[in-house]
Structure 1
């Protein structure tokens, strides 16, 4: 069984996919499986993946287009590795990402870890200051802002089990992390920049004002908070999101 399972949803990602593939294949840590679920792409993504000659890469084609959370869940159900990590089909890891993360989790004896990451344009040119991994993460502080990025985080499924994504929510990653943090005391920061995140102009996560309602539902529907409590945390999330991405603070 592989020690690490990498989970990737893919949908019309052919423009950046080969660069992401190279980032995984060139990892210094080699005991991994890469589970890619294609969400019914209409470009050449599937063909690109099928042309890779590496038995560690396992492609599944979804029966229908169900979104990134649905695609990740398909891969998660088939994952066999102890450590679970995520990489979208357009993002990038430094060559020692897996090696550093596995070593850090074992050294710190923690169930969850995350690293700093670079925030880049579509050509991987830095656009804002690196997002720093400088604080422990807990359920309480994750309510106010989502410090965990999928591309720079890893958790130990042997100790906490697999955590699946709620399907149909645009904030599925935040809900998943909150549910995971209900099971553990704290996640630890690896204070190194180990990944690169592409900030697309059309990225859903960047259009904060358009998804305030979806964030409110994170608290109201998934955390089962009261209306007042849900509004309080939504306001905190919006403020922290502005500070996270505004050039006034970067």
Structure 2
């Protein structure tokens, strides 16, 4: 990297005892000196928090929430607790690709918000598009297509995933606080801020292997019409809010 920055990894956990240790070890192996990990546990009823503690790595800071607040507010709490120059988001059940830290930290340092591609854990196949079934990938050449990218978000065609994102600290002025009505898809809110402010960078490298299982927070199952419409309306509101906040970023 041309300029050394510190990184904080922000993770939200809830009943993730099956995979959280594997994920954290893949993260810790990739970190640089001065980096750390903030894990906010959303009142898990299994041994997730105890497993995180037993890893015994001083780079991990565990925050236990006494009441379950849902993954969106838990990620917001992790982001608020972060101290690094660049924040990397991480789910509790994936696996980092070696080199992810430097790739995303450099992209976020230069541009503000970075979103990379991901593959499926076990096969390394690209994530399939829910509409076409073909490889669902971000292209660097479309990073600056601000309006087109936002339209793709509204249409459910943009492969922005929080587990493959990085945020430069100064962009938090526009991202936080999360809007009160943001009840899902915090990653699409962050991507919307990136596109509206012109600070989005698409990273074509694959930096995370996503584990698909029955308890993923982001489900691939089809939604009912009412829920789909409510989700689209929320995204429109988020776009408007991002436009209102964009002057917070110099």
Q: Give me the TM-score of the superposition, normalised by structure 1.
A: 0.76
Q: Which residue of 2 aligns with 1:118?
A: 119
Cα 1:174–1:28 shift into 2, 3 Å: closer
Q: Which residue of 1 aligns with 2:203?
A: 190
Q: State the number of aligned residues.
A: 218
Unaligned ranges ≥5, structure 1: 226-250
1:144 and 2:162 matched: no
Q: Which residue of 2 aligns with 1:174?
A: 188
What is the correspondence of 1:95-134 to structure 2 with a 5 Å cutoff? 95-106=98-109, 109-120=110-121, 124-126=122-124, 128-129=126-127, 131-134=136-139
1:112–1:154 CA contact under 8 A, matched in 2: yes
Q: Could you give the per-residue CA deviations for residues 150-180 of structure 1, whole angstroms, max 9, x where no partner exists?
A: 1111121135536243455123331232134
Report the aligned-residue RMSD.
2.5
Q: Could you give the per-residue CA deviations for residues 102-139 of structure 1, whole angstroms, max 9, x where no partner exists?
A: 23444xx311222221034xxx3346556423131654
Q: Give me the TM-score of the superposition, normalised by structure 2.
A: 0.76
1:14–1:45 CA contact under 8 A, matched in 2: yes
Superposed displacement of residue 222, structure 1 = 3.5
Superposed displacement of residue 49, structure 1 = 0.7
> What CA distance in whole angstroms lies between the structure 2 residues aligned with 1:138 and 1:31?
35
1:218 and 2:231 matched: no
1:5–1:82 CA contact under 8 A, matched in 2: yes
> What CA distance in whole angstroms lies between the structure 2 residues aligned with 1:18 and 1:102?
23
Q: Which residue of 2 aligns with 1:90?
A: 93
Q: Which residue of 2 aligns with 1:244?
A: none
1:78 and 2:81 matched: yes
Q: Which residue of 1 aligns with 2:70?
A: 67
Cα 1:156–1:205 shift into 2, 3 Å: same
SS of the aligned residue for 1:195 comes to strand
Cα 1:33–1:126 shift into 2, 3 Å: same
Cα 1:57–1:202 shift into 2, 3 Å: closer
Aligned match for 2:212, one of 175, 199, 202: 199
1:154 and 2:166 matched: yes
SS of the aligned residue for 2:56 comes to coil
